[in-house]
Amino acid sequence: MAESKKKIILTGDRPTGKLHVGHYVGSLRQRVELQESGKFDEIYIMIADAQALTDNADNPEKVRQNIIEVALDYLSCGLDPAKSTLFIQSQVPELTEMSFYYMNLVTVSRLQRNPTVKNEIKLRNFETSIPVGFFTYPISQAADITAFKADTVPVGEDQLPMIEQTREIVRSFNNVYGDVLVEPEALIPSNEACRRLPGIDGNAKMSKSLGNCIYLSDSPEDVRKKIMSMFTDPNHIRVQDPGNVEGNPVFVYLDAFCKDEHFAKYLPEYQNLDELKAHYTRGGLGDVKVKKFLNQVMQEELEPIRARRREYEKNIPKVYRILQEGSIRAEKTAAKTLAEMKAAMKINYFDDAELIQSQAEKYGV
């Protein structure tokens, strides 16, 4: 289809909390760059409230309260409603309908093999009481992506199995019903540290659900306190001890945030991060000095985001209007794709004059 040549982005976040610096380096920062690149015809950014309910069914207020938090975080990072459609998943009911049809194209054992879902089930202690909705959320994610015929999905590394599942669904659908859907590609950050930023506690992933986050909206003082209390190399006890930079969150954060210019500005005795790492590895460099530097680097990046947030916080009804207008726009696109899907699936009875005519002829009318 000619239309599928368009460059289209779909991505999003669950409104289960405010967004943190893991979201920022893993996906948000890149979204804004892609938005500004001018290379994309359409950009859809979704607040995945229906998905958040799959493991928060008993806590709808949490999801409701966090819609505005995520929207404020988006806008404060530089997502621009004039260039990107910001919308709420539940306000586009076509997505639910598509998920229902995709369920026929996926097996239970295929879902059980999804490593991210497996890990999340463990983290949530669901054991044998996994909600069906949670178990099948990779299918609903396939609907979110394909409804907009997105070809590019900027996400963190944990989302790769979801994109693979989506690609399989697209192939099955197009095989069975004809070429309607577009196979998407994940776009993960080229910088390895950004693909899965660890928590301040040293846990492999900073995550809202684990409470180990530095939030984009944290005050400068909170950010400083969190950085100063960060987990580092547990064997680096005295300053003169050799230290380990591999998997050491303070250095992973520096990998994700610092540029050579930051050294000239805040730590001129080093040229770049390699020199700092070499000193730490050799011994003689204290954690406090490295953390103070990280704090300066991160405050510099976060300050403009906080300033923009304060502006949007003054006009909350406007933020809801942005989401409402975005949701209306998103629904139009999704409805168009759903109509094409239903025609391909032969469940478009009433707008098919030929069908009605041939049935009539069968009965000799």
Q: Give the angle 163-166-168 at the CA atoms, nearest 5°.
A: 115
Look up residue 150 and give its amino acid. A
Under the criterion CB under 6 A, does residue 22 sit at the interface with ligand ATP? yes
**Which of 119, 172, 174, 209 is close enough to bind ligand ATP by CB under 6 A?**
209
Site size toward ligand ATP, by CB under 6 A: 19
DSSP for residue 199: P
Contact 191, 26 (CB under 8 A): no
Contact 94, 335 (CB under 8 A): yes
**Which of 31, 149, 167, 196 is close enough to bind ligand ATP by CB under 6 A?**
196
User: What Rg, from alpha-carbon coordinates, does the chain have?
Assistant: 23
**Applying CB under 6 A, which part among 163-171, 194-202, 230-238, 266-274 lies near ligand ATP?**
194-202
249: its two tokens: 């969150």
- Chain position carrying tokens 């967004």: 19
Angstrom distances, CA of residue 56 to CA of 142, 202, 347: 20, 26, 33
Under the criterion CB under 6 A, does residue 207 sit at the interface with ligand ATP? yes
**Applying CB under 6 A, which part among 2-10, 171-179, 203-211, 245-253 lies near ligand ATP?**
203-211
User: Which of residues 147 and 341 has its CB atom nearest to ligand ATP in the complex?
Assistant: 147
Under the criterion CB under 6 A, does residue 29 sit at the interface with ligand ATP? no
Cβ at position 234, least distance to ligand ATP in Å: 21
Residue 316: CB atoms within 10 Å: 12
Cβ at position 26, least distance to ligand ATP in Å: 2
User: Which of residues 212 and 327 has its CB atom nearest to ligand ATP in the complex?
Assistant: 212
Cβ at position 10, least distance to ligand ATP in Å: 11
**Applying CB under 6 A, which part among 22-30, 242-250, 266-274, 310-318 lies near ligand ATP?**
22-30
Q: What is the DSSP string of 126-140?
A: -TT---HHHHTHHHH
Under the criterion CB under 6 A, does residue 26 sit at the interface with ligand ATP? yes
Whether the CA torsion 240, 245, 250, 254 is positive or negative: it is: positive
Count how many residues are written for the chain.
Answer: 365
Provide the binding-site residues for ligand ATP, judged by CB under 6 A. Answer: 13-14, 16, 22-23, 26-27, 155-156, 158-159, 195-197, 205-209
